[in-house]
Chains A and B, each alone.
Chain A
Amino acid sequence: MTMLNENYDYQGAYIGQYGGQFVPQILMPALKQLEDAFESSLTDEIFQKELSTLLNQYAGRPTPLTECSSFACTDKVRVFLKREDLLHGGAHKTNQVLAQALLAKRMGKQRIIAETGAGQHGVATALACALLGLEATIYMGTKDIDRQAPNVFRMELMGAKVIAVDNGSGSLKDAINEALRDWAASYDSTHYLLGTAAGPHPFPKMVKTYQKVIGEEAKSQILEQIGTLPNAVIACVGGGSNAIGIFADFIKESSVKLIGVEPAGKGLDSKKHGATLLKGTEGIIHGARTQTLQTPDGQIEESHSVSAGLDYPAVGPEHVHLMQTGRAQYVGISDEEALEAFQELSRTEGIIPALESSHALAYAKKMSLSATEPMNIIVNLSGRGDKDLNLVMEKLINSEQG
C-alpha cells in the first residue's frame, strides 16, 4: 500500500472533506486571530522554549514507555504503555492546556473559558490558569457537577469559577454550546480553551500539534527499547485528542496499525454508547463537519459511556478522515470490558488506569489473545484512574449484590 503524506495534512480548515469553521459569523474574527497566533507561534523560538520548559519542568515530560510485566502479554505479544497517567494533572490533557494558555497570553487575553464533562479538562485548565495567572471560567453540566464534586472542588481550589449549565441535556455538549455563546460576546478579552481535537478549525489541528509529543516520544522510546517500530498503536477515542496525539507521528509509518477504541457503552446496538465513528453519521456539530450521533432529522443525540471522558456525541474531524481513508481502524469496547481491564491492569501491573484508557487496554488484550504472529503493541495510557475510584467501587458493589 502506498500512501501520500499530503492526504493526511490539513488543507486550510479541512482534513479531507472534514473539519471547517461552521460557527456563527460573529466568531470568525476570533478563530482567525487564534489561527494567526497559533501558526506564528510554531516558528517563534521563545514561545516554543517557554512551552517545552513548562512541559518538562512543570508537567513532567517526557513520560516513560513502560513494558507490561504480564497484562495482555503472551509468548508472542509484548505490550508497552505510554504513561500519560504520570503527567502532572493525571492525564494527557495538561500538554495542550499549557500550550493554549500560553497562546492566550500571546494574544493578550486574560480570561479563559472552557467546557468540561467529568471535570478533567476543567481541572487541567484551572491548573494552567493558576500557574500562568489567568482568570478561568469553566462551564459544566449540572448533572456532571453533582456526580463530580471532587473535581469541582479541585477547580475551585485552583481559583477557577465553575458555572453550572442546565439547558439542553445538561451534559458536555451543552457545556460546549454555553462556552461558544460566552465566546461570541467576549472574544476580545477571552480565549476559549477547547478540550479536545474537535470543534472548528484551528482547534483540531492545534490540539493535535500540542498532543503529538506523545507519539514522538513513544516512537523514539520504542525504537530505543526494542529497535523496531510497533505493529500497532492503540488509543481510546472520545473527542480524540489522546488518540490523534499518539497516532500523529505514526501516520506516515504505513506498517504501524493505528487503532482507535470507541466507547461501546452497553453495546453498539443498544443506543447507549458513544461510538460516533462506528455508529454515527456525517453531520455538522460544534463548528465542524464530522461524524455525530443524531436523529434522521439532524438533532444531536446524547451519548453514553461509563467513562465521562469518552461520553461525547461527536468526534474530531481528523479521525473521520483516518477512518474513511482506511489509515486507522476504529473498534468498540463496552463499559463492562473496560471495567474488567481497569481491574486487571491494577492487579497485574500496579497501575490504576483511567476508565477512558481502560477501553484501549481492553482492546489490546483482545488483540493479543487472537495474535498468531509475534507482535509489539503500544497502548496510550492517557490518564490515571484515581478520579474513577468511587464510580468503579459502586459498580463492583452493585455487581456483587446483583
Chain B
Amino acid sequence: MRYQKMFSQKKQNNELAYIPFVLLGDPTYDKSFAIIKTLIESGADGLELGFSFSDPVADGPVIQEASLRPLANNFSVIDGFKLLKQIRASYPDIPIGLLTYANLVFAQGIDSYYELANDSGVDSVLIADCPVEEGSLFSKSANKHGIDTVFIAPPDATNETLSLVAQNSQGYTYVLSRKGITGTEISANQAKTDFLGKLREFKSAPLVQGFGISTPDHIYQAAEAGVDGVITGSAIVKLINQYYNEPQIMLDAISDYAKAMANAAHQAQHLLQEGLINVDSGNDQRTTACNGAAS
C-alpha cells in the first residue's frame, strides 16, 4: 500500500519518485542508519536497500567493493532486519524495498525470510538473481506475508517476457535501459518509449528505472521517456566508498547529491513541459541543455 500511495501522490504532483539505493550495514550499523536518514531527509520518496552477498553477480565494482565492508563486520541478515525495523519505526510511510540475492533468502528459510521482512516493515523484495521464470519458488511465501515481489524488465525482452514481468511485478517494475550490471561506468540510455508502452499495455505496476543513472541529465531523459521513478545506487555508494572514514564529510556529500537528484526527479516533468530543458534523445552520447535545473 505504501508504494501505491506514494506513486499516486507523485503522479498528482507531476513528479518522478526518487529512490536511492545503499547497502544495509555499510559501513557500520550506526552509520548506515545515519546515511539512510540523510537520504530520506534529502527528499527520497522510497528506499531500495541491499543485503551484502559474497557473490554479487549483478553488481559492478562499486557495489562489490562496498559489499565487503558489512561482510567483514559480520553484519548478518538478522542485523539487517533489525536496522530495517529501526528505520521503519522512524519513518512509518516511506516505501522500503529490499534488493538481495537468492541464496540469502534461501538460507534463511524462504518463509522465515518473508516473515522477517514483514515484521520489519519491508514493502517489497527484489532478488537480483531470480528471473520472473523462477519466481514461483519465492512468491508463495511473499504473498503469504504481504510482501510485494519486484521483477526486472530488461531492454531487449520479448513481449512474452515483458508481459510476464508486468503481470508478476508488484509495487513497481524495475526497468533497465541498458544491459550489463549496476554501475556508473556505463550510463543509462534513454529507455525506449515503445518498451515502456508495452509494459503499461500489459498493466505493469509503476515503472522505475535503474542501472547507470547518476546525474540529473539521466533523470530528465528518464522523465521524457515516461518512467514513474528512478533508482540511483552506485553513485551514492561511491561516495560511501570514498568517505566512509570521514562520516561528516560522507553525510554532507550524500545529502548534497541526494538533494540534487531528488530535485531533478521532482522538477523534471515541469521543466520538460515548460521547455526549460531539452533532452536530446537521438543517440547514446546525449547532452542536455539545462537552465539551472539542478539548483
Which A residues are closer than 8 A to B by beta carbons?
20-29, 167-169, 173-174, 177, 180-181, 184-187, 281-287, 289, 292, 294-301
Contact = CB atoms under 8 A, between A and B. Distances in A.
B49 interface: no
A294 B103 contact: yes
Contacts of A187: 179
B102 A297 contact: no
Contact of A283 (B71, B107, B133): B107
Interface string B223-257: 00000000000000000000000000000000000
B156 A25 contact: no
Given A181-B181, A294-B107, A24 B128 contact: yes
B39 interface: no
Contact of A299 (B71, B105, B131): B71
Nearest to B76: A297
Chain A to chain B: the 6 pairs with minimum beta-carbon distance, closest first: A298-B107, A185-B180, A284-B102, A299-B54, A25-B152, A25-B131
Given A26-B176, A181-B60, A283 B181 contact: no
A383 B266 CA distance: 62
Listed residue (A24, A180, A187) with the most chain B CB atoms within 10 angstroms of its CB: A24
B130 interface: yes
Nearest to B152: A25
Contact of A21 (B54, B134, B161): B134
B60 A185 contact: no
Contacts of A177: 55-57
Given A28-B131, A29-B156, A298-B77, A283 B103 contact: yes
The SS class assigned to the A binding surface is: mixed
Interface residues of B, number: 43
A190 B105 CA distance: 31
B58 interface: yes
A314 B154 CA distance: 28
Interface string B147-172: 00001111011100100010000000
A287 B101 CA distance: 11
Contact of B161 (A28, A286, A295): A28
B111 to A, nearest CB: 15
A298 B106 contact: yes
Contacts of A285: 55, 103
Given A24-B152, A168-B64, A298-B77, A29 B57 contact: no
A23 B286 CA distance: 31
Contacts of A300: 54-55, 103
A181 B57 contact: yes
Please indicate which of the listed interface residues B55, B56, B156 has the most CB atoms of chain A within 10 Å of its own CB: B55
Contact of A167 (B58, B64, B180): B64
B55 A20 contact: no
Contacts of A286: 55, 57
Most A-side CB within 10 Å, residue of B102, B108, B186: B102
Interface in B44-67: 53-58, 60-61, 64-65
Given A167-B64, A177-B55, A299-B71, A24 B161 contact: no
Q: Could you say which of A20, A23, A295, A300 has the most chain B C-beta atoms within 10 Å of its C-beta?
A: A23
Contacts of B130: 22
Contact of B131 (A23, A174, A180, A184): A23
Contact of B179 (A21, A26, A173, A296): A26
Given A26-B180, A28-B131, 9 more contacts: A21-B133, A22-B134, A25-B152, A28-B161, A29-B156, A181-B60, A285-B103, A286-B57, A294-B107
Contact of A22 (B102, B107, B153, B158): B102
Contact of A25 (B57, B106, B107, B165): B165
A23 B129 contact: yes
A290 to B, nearest CB: 10
B104 interface: yes
Contact of A26 (B106, B137, B152, B158): B152
Contacts of A299: 53-54, 71, 104
A294 B101 CA distance: 14
B157 A29 contact: yes
A107 to B, nearest CB: 16
B132 interface: yes
Contacts of B77: 297-298
Contacts of A25: 131-132, 151-154, 157, 161, 165
30 contacts: A21-B133, A21-B134, A23-B57, A24-B129, A25-B131, A25-B132, A25-B152, A25-B153, A25-B157, A26-B176, A27-B131, A28-B133, A29-B161, A167-B64, A168-B64, A174-B55, A177-B56, A184-B181, A185-B186, A283-B106, A285-B55, A286-B57, A294-B103, A296-B107, A297-B77, A297-B104, A297-B107, A298-B53, A298-B103, A299-B53
A184 B58 contact: yes
B280 to A, nearest CB: 24
A176 to B, nearest CB: 8
Contacts of B165: 25
* Among A29, A186, A282: residue with most chain B CB under 10 A: A29
A21 B131 contact: yes
Nearest to A295: B107
Interface string B104-128: 1111100000000000000000001
B154 A22 contact: no
